[in-house]
Chains A and B, each alone.
Chain A
Amino acid sequence: MNIASILAKKGTEVFTARPEQSLREALSLLAQHNIGALVVVDEVERPVGLVSERDIVREAARNGQLFGASVASIMTCDLIVAGPREDLNSVASIMTARRIRHLPIVDEDKLVGIISIGDVMKAQRDEYQGEVDTLQIQVLSGPTGTARTG
């Protein structure tokens, strides 16, 4: 299974912010769309960073005046991105190992989506469930050609 199979059922919209936008604006985007992170893009829509709710919480604990600060001032610049055809299981282990919760997906230099660790876990769970179910049909199919389910 690859990343595209997650993105295929997430519509087409990727919510982004610009580096110069304020954190107040970023917060309202997160709240409005009920999401956990925004990909920060430059003027040609190339991803340059990521700002997550955790980044904002961390800044809020330190700085009472954070609302006016820019997205650029707290965003993660050391960005890891993946391609849509990359294998889900390999990406899952990198996300787990490096504690990455949001991964922007880039195809031919263009931002095409973002996946969360929750998306990855759900896709993996569905894949395993499907394999178990398919194996059960094969194992439990009776000699007369009747299949039983649990």
Chain B
Amino acid sequence: MESGYARIGSGLRPLRVAIVGAGPTGFYAADHLFAQEDLTVEIDMFDRLPTPYGLVRGGVAPDHQKIKMVTAIFDRIAGHPGFRFFGRVELGRELTVEDLRAHYHQILYATGAQTDRRMGIPGEDLQGSHPATEFVAWYNGHPDYCDRHFDLSVERVAIVGVGNVAIDVARILCRTPEELAATDIADHALEALRQSRIREIYLLGRRGPAQAAFTNPEINELGELLGADVVVPPEDAALDELSRAALEQTPDRATTRKAEIIQSYAQGQATGKPRRLTVRFLVAPVELVGDDEGKVVAVRLVHNELSLTPAGTLQPKATDRYEELPVGLVFRSVGYCGMPLPGVPFNERWGVILNEHGRVLDPDSHQPRVGEYTGGWIKRGPSGVMGTNKPDALETVEGMMEDLAAGRTLAPQVEDAAATERMIRQRQPLYFSYEDWHRLDEIELEHGRAAGRPRVKFTRVDEMLTALGKVRGGRKLAHDWAG
């Protein structure tokens, strides 16, 4: 029987799926697809970076190695015979949506939310004011950020936001060089942080302790820092009347525990550690103040109070009380935002791909675009923890399977994995396969063992190419061009 007549998803005619983005959602979706009964599926996963794992490699803090163990699960998924990885292949650069339509029955976009939301206040672009995500990408060795400079010669730094990313940044700034050396933090960051003269770190939350976005293990962990005392001003730690009433009405153990941990910091005594981390609540920056050279010297804060909305949540409201906090460095961590993908409908209001439960919608008809799907942060916005992407990916895959059963798939001209690889190799001769990644991983781990660290990361693409023998002396090897 010719493959053209066989059922899509059968052994004779596998379902061909492209997953754009090699982060947790991409892997979870691949896992759900491989787990389907009576389905033969071939998955090609693309990433703009040479390395897989998305934010697990580039976002999760280097001193949180345990959570990175999830990569063992991703490797198991990637070990499926129907799985291929094409690193350094970017949608809009090496490939277009049309290329993917010509080669796959279904396309899943899982590119995450990569940019920081802005605070929208005067002085935001002064020297010394940075998005927290850039600092995170820098210390995690993201190739696009390894040449960034952060002035760690100042003594005082403010981090705007009290989510887990803000806490990560604060913790990394507080860690001693010895603590950092035990992690897989990028070498350039380790060196720069060794020279750091930062003494005072402020975390600034616009709401109260009960509404803070950080989770309890994260705030609890701050108390275990070897190099920094954690301080919360008692007036900031106390729960206001409305928060107290809300907790009484709807008791919630996690929130009660959160308030207790913060109280314990407020009652604690400084022990003379070299650094001090102060967590502030009910304050919001209204302006960054600069000097004559355009460098941040202070952040102007307004004091907030909480008010109850009709839907029962407590929202901050500015008062007429202000203060100025002298700082030489500011990191903003007030939320992430997705970036549009070329050729893919985007919902500007929520900063996500326009979709309904994972099916990409046509912007005019509001009907699903056949064969196009989305998952993870670029589908629902930046919410939840890493594992939240697992049920999220499942929802999308259920839609993909429903559509497949109903015969709603793309009709690619090419249904041949080898032909697709030839096309990709033509566009990006120096792509990275999963085997390439395994070899890089081994080298990184080996370098780590030699240095007594979990791993030493490659932070530049040319170093990765050289390490794998893909280029020598800046020239591409002949076999890389072979089809």
Q: How far is the CA of A129 from the CA of B388 in the complex (A)?
A: 7
Contacts of B361 in A (CB 8 A): 11-12
When the two chains form their complex, are residues B72 and A147 in contact, meaning their CB atoms are under 8 A apart?
Answer: yes
Minimum CB–CB distance from A8 to chain B (whole Å) comes to 4
Minimum CB–CB distance from B457 to chain A (whole Å) comes to 16
Contacts of B385 in A (CB 8 A): 130-131, 134
- Of residues 312 through 355 on chain B, the ones whose CB sits less than 8 Å from some CB of chain A are 312-315, 347, 349-352, 354-355
Minimum CB–CB distance from A101 to chain B (whole Å) comes to 14
Beta-carbon contacts of B236-260 to A below 8 Å, as 1s and 0s? 0000000000100110100000000
Q: Does B423 reach chain A (CB closer than 8 Å)?
A: no
- List the 3 closest pairs (A to B, CB-CB), nearest first: A130-B388, A133-B387, A82-B311
When the two chains form their complex, are residues B313 and A9 in contact, meaning their CB atoms are under 8 A apart?
Answer: no
7 contacts between A and B (CB under 8 A): A1-B383, A2-B383, A127-B388, A130-B384, A130-B390, A131-B388, A141-B66
Beta-carbon contacts of A112-139 to B below 8 Å, as 1s and 0s? 1000000000000111011111110110
**Contacts A89-B252, A130-B386, A134-B387 known; A7 to B350 CB distance under 8 Å?**
yes
When the two chains form their complex, are residues B313 and A82 in contact, meaning their CB atoms are under 8 A apart?
Answer: yes
Q: How far is the CA of A112 from the CA of B357 in the complex (A)?
A: 17
Q: How far is the CA of A133 from the CA of B311 in the complex (A)?
A: 30
B residues whose Cβ falls under 8 Å from a Cβ of A = 66-67, 69-73, 211, 246, 249-250, 252, 309-315, 347, 349-352, 354-358, 361, 366, 379-381, 383-392
When the two chains form their complex, are residues A9 and B379 in contact, meaning their CB atoms are under 8 A apart?
Answer: yes
Contact of B70 among A1, A11, A137 (CB under 8 A): A137
Beta-carbon contacts of A79-105 to B below 8 Å, as 1s and 0s? 011111011011101100100000100
Q: How far is the CA of A90 from the CA of B245 in the complex (A)?
A: 12
When the two chains form their complex, are residues B310 and A81 in contact, meaning their CB atoms are under 8 A apart?
Answer: yes
Contact of B72 among A12, A134, A145 (CB under 8 A): A145
**Contacts A8-B350, A90-B246, A90-B314 known; A133 to B390 CB distance under 8 Å?**
yes
Q: How far is the CA of A93 from the CA of B72 in the complex (A)?
A: 38
Contact of A5 among B356, B381, B387 (CB under 8 A): B381
When the two chains form their complex, are residues B313 and A11 in contact, meaning their CB atoms are under 8 A apart?
Answer: no
Minimum CB–CB distance from A96 to chain B (whole Å) comes to 9
When the two chains form their complex, are residues A147 and B73 in contact, meaning their CB atoms are under 8 A apart?
Answer: yes
When the two chains form their complex, are residues B347 and A12 in contact, meaning their CB atoms are under 8 A apart?
Answer: yes
**Contacts A12-B366, A132-B387, A137-B387 known; A83 to B252 CB distance under 8 Å?**
no
**Contacts A9-B357, A9-B358 known; A131 to B387 CB distance under 8 Å?**
yes
When the two chains form their complex, are residues A130 and B381 in contact, meaning their CB atoms are under 8 A apart?
Answer: no
Q: Does A41 reach chain B (CB closer than 8 Å)?
A: no
Residue of A81, A89, A130 with highest tally of chain B CB at under 10 A = A130
Closest to A139 in B: B66
When the two chains form their complex, are residues A141 and B350 in contact, meaning their CB atoms are under 8 A apart?
Answer: no
When the two chains form their complex, are residues A126 and B392 in contact, meaning their CB atoms are under 8 A apart?
Answer: yes
**Contacts A138-B66, A146-B69 known; A4 to B392 CB distance under 8 Å?**
no
Q: Does A149 reach chain B (CB closer than 8 Å)?
A: yes
Contacts of B250 in A (CB 8 A): 90, 93, 97
Contacts of B71 in A (CB 8 A): 147
**Contacts A89-B252, A146-B72 known; A80 to B311 CB distance under 8 Å?**
yes
Q: Does A43 reach chain B (CB closer than 8 Å)?
A: no
**Contacts A86-B315, A90-B246, A94-B312 known; A8 to B387 CB distance under 8 Å?**
no
Q: Does A46 reach chain B (CB closer than 8 Å)?
A: no
When the two chains form their complex, are residues A87 and B70 in contact, meaning their CB atoms are under 8 A apart?
Answer: no
Contacts of B355 in A (CB 8 A): 8-9, 11
When the two chains form their complex, are residues A147 and B309 in contact, meaning their CB atoms are under 8 A apart?
Answer: no
Q: How far is the CA of A98 from the CA of B31 in the complex (A)?
A: 40
Q: How far is the CA of A134 from the CA of B388 in the complex (A)?
A: 8
Minimum CB–CB distance from B341 to chain A (whole Å) comes to 15
Minimum CB–CB distance from B472 to chain A (whole Å) comes to 32
Q: Does A109 reach chain B (CB closer than 8 Å)?
A: no
- Of residues 1 through 24 on chain A, the ones whose CB sits less than 8 Å from some CB of chain B are 1-2, 4-13
Contacts of A80 in B (CB 8 A): 310-311
Contact of B309 among A13, A82, A146 (CB under 8 A): A82
When the two chains form their complex, are residues B312 and A93 in contact, meaning their CB atoms are under 8 A apart?
Answer: yes
Q: How far is the CA of A9 from the CA of B374 in the complex (A)?
A: 10
Contacts of B310 in A (CB 8 A): 80-82
Contacts of A5 in B (CB 8 A): 380-381, 383-384
Minimum CB–CB distance from B133 to chain A (whole Å) comes to 18
Q: How far is the CA of A9 from the CA of B73 in the complex (A)?
A: 27
Contacts of B381 in A (CB 8 A): 4-5, 8
Closest to B254 in A: A89
Closest to A93 in B: B250
Contacts of A145 in B (CB 8 A): 69, 72
Contact of B384 among A86, A93, A127 (CB under 8 A): A127
| A-B contact sample (9 more), CB < 8 A, given A9-B357, A86-B315, A103-B311 | A1-B384, A4-B350, A6-B380, A8-B350, A8-B380, A10-B356, A86-B313, A87-B313, A138-B66
When the two chains form their complex, are residues B70 and A147 in contact, meaning their CB atoms are under 8 A apart?
Answer: yes
- Of residues 58 through 97 on chain A, the ones whose CB sits less than 8 Å from some CB of chain B are 80-84, 86-87, 89-91, 93-94, 97
**Contacts A126-B384, A137-B69, A138-B67 known; A11 to B391 CB distance under 8 Å?**
no
When the two chains form their complex, are residues B391 and A130 in contact, meaning their CB atoms are under 8 A apart?
Answer: yes
When the two chains form their complex, are residues A8 and B379 in contact, meaning their CB atoms are under 8 A apart?
Answer: yes
Contacts of A83 in B (CB 8 A): 309, 311, 315
Contacts of A93 in B (CB 8 A): 249-250, 312
When the two chains form their complex, are residues B356 and A11 in contact, meaning their CB atoms are under 8 A apart?
Answer: yes
Contacts of A94 in B (CB 8 A): 311-312
Residue of B66, B69, B246, B387 with highest tally of chain A CB at under 10 A = B387
When the two chains form their complex, are residues A11 and B366 in contact, meaning their CB atoms are under 8 A apart?
Answer: yes
